[in-house]
Amino acid sequence: MRIGAHVGVAGGYAAAVDYAVSVGCECLQVFAKSPRQWNAKPFDPDAARAFRDRVAELDAGPVFVHTSYLINLGSSDDDLWRKSYEALADELRRGELLGARGVITHTGTAYKENPAYTAQRIAGGVDRAWELADVSRPRILLENTAGAGTTFGDGPQELGTILALLGESAGCVGVCLDTCHAHAAGWDLSRADVWNELVTAFEWCCGMPIEAVHANDCMFAAGLHKDRHAWVGDGTIGYPGFAAMFAEERLRGVPAIIEMPGDVPRKDVENITRLKRLRDGAAGS
């Protein structure tokens, strides 16, 4: 597994690549626009080219884009739903400019009392975004959630339900596993046997391999639906849990990205070092 981090772009996109490499990243994730605003000015093609060149030069990829937190593809409100798929289309175009392999998005909050409707709504939104964006490269990766409140997509089953309903975009959509979210949703990833079960469940329910991992430890116990990321080894997944991740053969070629709280560069240097140590340990055994 290549190991990387979600990195900030306040200093510019090309500089973000330099930062990523300086803290040990072998892949990276960025926001392609402010994650808390609907609108953003169009991407500057020169900045995008400089970013792509830097990634190639430093072998810093693959690159992933994480979408805005405002996107809610499961909304029953027509205006919000339309805004959401238009925003996802915009993220895909930005992802294409950045040379991203995948655009990772949460599926949205919705109505647990009517999961079939919600899944249908999300799949329809993904299809429309794909059609509008008209991109060639980036895949849409649906990320599992912690299952807090009314969020949809808390595991392989819900994600698989969405995937099965896709039309236009089928074949261009995959899944991203967030370890903190899965743990919070009830898969106790401190245990190697649960890792095995979870990866198998993804294969069965989604019919495809996991394409990216967000390797975050979790501050709260498994099953509490609390999405609070902890540093690798400091949370309730712990070192044994991440060692089990590296031992899982079906994840061997999958990029792992950290999304950590704390101050840069220490949070990135420290967490990447910890993960690399575990990966080396798995390779040595």
Residues at the site binding Zn ion, with contacts judged by CB under 5 A? 178, 214, 227
Question: Using CA atoms, how far apart are residues 128 and 81, in angstroms rounded to an integer?
Answer: 11
Nearest to 161 by CA among 199, 198, 98, 114: 114
**In Å, how far are 80, 100, 212, 262, 284 from 199, measured between CA atoms?**
33, 24, 12, 29, 23
Q: Which is nearer to Zn ion, 60 or 212 (CB)?
A: 212
Task: Say if strands 28-31 and 139-143 run parallel, antiparallel, or are unpaired.
Answer: unpaired
DSSP state of 226: -
Q: Which is nearer to Zn ion, 178 or 217 (CB)?
A: 178
Residue 50 C-beta: closest distance to Zn ion, Å: 27
Strand partners, 65: 30, 103
Q: Which is nearer to Zn ion, 127 or 231 (CB)?
A: 231
Residue 218 C-beta: closest distance to Zn ion, Å: 9
Q: Residue 85 — φ and ψ, nearest 5°?
A: -75, -30
Q: Which is nearer to Zn ion, 64 or 124 (CB)?
A: 64
Which residue's Cβ lies closest to Zn ion? 214
Q: Which is nearer to Zn ion, 168 or 259 (CB)?
A: 259
Residue 93 C-beta: closest distance to Zn ion, Å: 22
**In Å, how far are 34, 140, 276, 279 from 37, measured between CA atoms?**
6, 20, 35, 37
Residue 229 C-beta: closest distance to Zn ion, Å: 6
Residue 217 C-beta: closest distance to Zn ion, Å: 11
